[in-house]
Structure formats: C-alpha cells, structure tokens
Amino acid sequence: MKLPRAAAYATLLILAGCQSNHSMLWSSASKQASDIEWLYWFIFWICLVVFVLVIAFFAGGLAKSNVDEEEMAPVMESNEPGDRRAKVGVSIALGITVVTLFVVLALSIVTGKTTEGLTSKNPITIEVTGHQWWWELRYPNPQADLTVLSANEIHIPVGKPIVVLTASRDVIHSFWAPNIDGKRDLLPGYQSAFTFQIDKPGIYHGQCAEFCGEQHAHMGFEIVAQTMDEFQAWLNQQRKPSVQPQDAKEVHGRDVFLTHSCVLCHTIRGTDAGSRVGPDLTHVGSRRLLAATAISNAPGSLAGWITDPQRIKPGVLMPANPLAPGDLDALVTYLRSLQ
C-alpha cells in the first residue's frame, strides 16, 4: 500500500515540473538550440543505459550473494579464477567508460564551437542590459535619433544572424531562451557578445536563469521572430517619437504622467519625460506584456501595476501611485495609445 502511494507522489512531483507550454519548450527554433538538444539527448541516453546497467548488476549481485548477515564477508584471495574474471570485467568497463567520456567531451567541444561559430557581414545588433528585474533593449544606430530603446520584448527578423551584446546594471543575470540557445550570463561591468539565428517565425519565451534577487522568477522576456518586412515595419515605428495625444482624455493622461512620479524614472520620447531608471515607455502600448512578462498589457492589469506594483512584484523599484480614479483612467488610456 505504501509503495504505490510513494510512486504516485513521485510521479506528481515529476509532473509538477512540466509546464503547460512544454511542447513549446522542447521545440528548438534555431540551429544552435537543436545542436544543444541533440547533445542533451545523446548524454541522456548514455546516462540511462549506464544507470540501468549499474542497477541490474547491483540487483544481480544482491540476488547471488548468500553471505549470512551475521558472518564476516570472506577475504578475497587474489588469483582465484572468479577474482581474475572480475578484474578483466572491471578493466573492460573502465575502458568503455573512458572512451565514452572522451566521445562526450569531443561532442561537447564540437557543439560549443558550432554554437559560437555563427558569423555574418552585416548582422543585426541588439544590446541587452539586465536590471533588477527587467531587460533593457537597445537597437543601436550610428545616427543617434534612429536608435531604438525598448524593454523585455525582443523583435528580430528570421533567417538573419543576431548579435547580442550583453551587460548588467546591477547583479549577475542570465539570458536564457531554451528554444534558441544556451544560457548566457550578464555580468556587471563586463560586456560580452553572442550570436543566434532563428529560422521559424514565432514568439519564444525567455527567462533570467541566474538567481538575482526577490523577483528573479518574474524576470522574463519574449523574442518575437518575424519576417524581415514585419521587423523593419516594427523598427521604423519604434524609431518615431511618441504619438501625440488625440483627445482631451489622452492630454490629461499625459499631464498626469508628467506631473507625477512616473516622470522621475521613465522616458517618453517627444515629451519632457527623459529619465532612464525604468523602461522606456515611448511605445509601451505596442508591447504584449508588462513588468518583464509578469502581466498582460491590458487596461486592468496596467492600472493595477501603476497603482500598486509591489503587490504584483514585491521588491520592485517602482513605487505605488495612489491616483484619483479619473487620473488613473486617463493615464492608462494615454499609455495604451503609445503604439
């Protein structure tokens, strides 16, 4: 009775690790991810075979042993035929182990080289800076006013190498999108680079993979892989300054933004708001998710986030903003108009 129950609990524990979007997690969208996936499964099957063999030999040994528990184990005399056979067996097993480990080492090096070896004459460059707890994005351009600033939602064209330059503003973070590539650490005071390429259009979820404080689990990002035309359209839109308020309500919303604490931390290009502490909100209305993918970009969740962000992400730098209902409504309407 006890054993089936323990087995059931163990199964539940294992299932708890599966996410509802597991099919998404297991489908690699880039050459690098499929190389890493292949190596993962290669090592997994070797480990499984070794595990099964070890357990089988162990069980076999237990079944054969007829030593009385009270008695001392007999002293092994070397050069007995059984002992010599065991020696040969152990030597063969040792040889197979060494060869297998070298094969795994060689394949790991080859996989590492191929995932690093992506190069292009004119790649797309994106600067990703980790913050507690969001991702600052910069699409640099020699012409300063064509540089795009955004947060948490990385748009890229498919079929083109993307160079990511990483840095961190505070502690160590780790950039990880399982469908795309391995984990890349973002170290404070140290810029590094890696390249990836996605061949399948889609939206891929990513997550900070290095514990970085209270809201580490809510430090997600999305990679939106689009056709080149869609990407260029997005980039051109993001390059523009914010849209002007269209009616009295949006004008009021902008005034609320500029006269309350929002302006102390955020930028909206085309207005007087130019602080770089928090995410650039020039086109915040165009983003799918908010708060580093913790909540959706819907009027209700945006209003909740503005009013009391500490309830959604305790410890986040953004303070509570107890606004009058009319002010909050106008502010939400204005922010959502920023496409």
- C-alpha–C-alpha distance, residues 295 and 167, integer Å: 25
Question: Strand, coil or helix: what is 300?
Answer: helix
Q: Is 173 in the site for ligand CUA (CB under 6 A)?
A: yes
CB 198 within 8 A of CB 168: no
Q: Is 136 in the site for ligand CUA (CB under 6 A)?
A: no
- C-alpha–C-alpha distance, residues 147 and 233, integer Å: 15
Query: Given the complex with ligand CUA, which of 245 and 279 has the nearer CB atom?
Result: 279
In angstroms, what is the minimal distance from the CB of 195 to ligand CUA?
22
Which segment (20-28, 45-53, 205-213, 318-326) binds ligand CUA by CB under 6 A?
205-213
Of residues 15 through 74, those in contact with ligand CUA by CB under 6 A are: none
Query: Given the complex with ligand CUA, which of 134 and 334 has the nearer CB atom?
Result: 134
Full DSSP string of 169-232: SSS-EEEE-TTT---EEEBBTB-EEEEE---S-EEEEEEE-S--STTGGG-EEEEEEE-HHHHH
Q: Is 279 in the site for ligand CUA (CB under 6 A)?
A: no
Q: Is 130 in the site for ligand CUA (CB under 6 A)?
A: yes
Q: What residue type is 3 in one-letter code? A: L
CB 282 within 8 A of CB 338: yes
Query: Given the complex with ligand CUA, which of 38 and 211 has the nearer CB atom?
Result: 211
Query: Given the complex with ligand CUA, which of 95 and 188 has the nearer CB atom?
Result: 188
Site for ligand CUA (CB under 6 A): how many residues?
A: 9
Q: Is 260 in the site for ligand CUA (CB under 6 A)?
A: no
Residue 168 has a CB neighbour count (10 Å cut-off) of 23
Contacts of 297 (CB under 8 A, 6+ apart): 284, 285, 287, 288, 289, 290, 336
Of residues 207 through 236, those in contact with ligand CUA by CB under 6 A are: 208, 210-212, 216, 219
Interface contacts to ligand CUA, rule CB under 6 A: 130, 133, 173, 208, 210-212, 216, 219
